[in-house]
Amino acid sequence: MNKLTMKKTPGELARCYEQVSNKIDQAYRLLLEAKELYNTTYDDNFDPVDDSRHDTQGSWDAVKRKLKKYSWRRIINLMQVQKLASTKRWDEIQDKLYGRESDDSMPEISEQEIITMYQSYTQNAGAIFAEAVKETWDYLRPGKTRWDHYKTNDPDRIGEKVILVHVLEHKFNGRLQVNYYHQQDVSNVDKVFHALDGNTEEFLQNGYKSILVDAINESPAKGENKYFSWNGYKNGNLHLTIKRMDLVSSMARILRENTLKAN
């Protein structure tokens, strides 16, 4: 049910990366030549690009590491992995792309490495989607936290109406929006419902984070789309009404088929 799409081919991305990398190499070689010429003539160890943090070679290495790191981030973004990955998988990707070891955890960029990265998600799309279904089931099934005690919520099933606690936060202007730490959870809900309804393409082509996240941010107090209606409150709670309970039944079926049980 998951379908990764690429707006640019792996070959285009790899060739651009190689060209930029080569130009950076050429530029720093010229800087090293300039440094050597100056040092020889003036008998001084002046470095023309020293900014009190790196010498020329150190700066060169830092720029190349940054280029690789940011290029992989963009490639993953172009694949729209965040929209389709489960929260578990996305957290693993985040660790590789933004963690302390991010410079060394990702391979050098090439067409084959991009294809391998792409295939690693497309070939495991079914399992990844099942993970997202389980996460969404657990997220919508209340009673998992001690403060989630609302009578509307039934811990043994997903009802038509669910109260999601502390999903909203106040922006600097006082307007409510989806809390940063809940964006992936709400996006998961949106993704699973779209996919189960056969609308994965619609989900991928619309919305920055997701159609639902964007819609709630646009109209946090009250809103509605084809799958949900909602009311947002100043205490940060979001009252979500599910309009397609048949898709909830489909979620339960997938959980049974994959022998995954909600905790």
Sign of the four-CA dihedral 161, 165, 170, 174: positive
Residues 107 and 213 in one domain: no
CA distances, 257 to each of 123, 125, 254 (Å): 19, 15, 5
Helix axes 183-196, 211-218, angle to 10 degrees: 120
Residues 126, 1, 130: CA angle, nearest 5 degrees: 40
| 227 assigned to some structural domain | yes
pLDDT attached to residue 2 = 47
The 10 Å CB-count burial string (b at 16+, else e) for 196-222 is bbebbeebbeebebbbbbbbbbeebee
Pair of tokens at residue 4: 């990764």
Do 236 and 116 lie in one domain? The reply is no
Do residues 44 and 105 both lie within one domain? yes
Select from 62, 90, 123 the last residue of a domain: 123
Q: Is residue 79 part of a domain?
A: yes
- Indicate whether 242 and 143 sit together in one domain: yes
- Contact yes or no for 236/179 (Cβ under 8 A): yes
Residues in the chain: 263
**Is the same domain home to 118 and 166?**
no
| Number of domains, the chain | 2
Same domain, yes or no: 179 and 134: yes
Output the pLDDT for position 198. 87
| 22 occurs within a structural domain | yes
Establish if 262 belongs to a structural domain: no
Are 56 and 72 part of one and the same domain? Answer: yes
**What residues are paired with 161 via a beta bridge?**
241
Same domain, 89 and 149: no
The rounded distance, in Å, linking the Cα atoms of 39 and 128 is 57
Residue 190, pLDDT score: 92
How many angstroms from the chain centroid is the CA of residue 12? 22
Domain end, chosen from 63, 91, 123, is at 123
Its domain, for residue 159, covers 129-257
Of 161, 186, 187, 188, the closest CA to residue 245 belongs to 161
- Provide the pLDDT for residue 101: 52
In a shared domain, residues 18 and 136 = no
Taking only the tens of pLDDT, the chain with its 263 residues reads 445 556 678 888 999 999 999 999 999 899 888 888 888 898 777 776 666 556 777 788 888 888 898 898 888 878 777 777 777 877 887 777 776 555 567 788 899 988 888 877 777 777 888 888 888 988 888 655 444 555 455 556 788 998 888 899 988 777 899 998 888 889 889 989 998 998 877 877 766 678 999 999 999 999 999 999 999 999 999 999 999 999 999 998 888 887 644 44
Which pLDDT does position 262 carry in this prediction? 47
- Residue pair 212/188 in contact by the 8 Å Cβ criterion: no
Would you state the pLDDT for residue 9? 84
Q: Clarify whether residues 140 and 247 are in a common domain.
A: yes
Q: Is residue 31 part of a domain?
A: yes
Give buried/exposed letters for 228-252 (b at 16+ CB in 10 A, else e): bebebeeebbbbbebeeeebbebbe
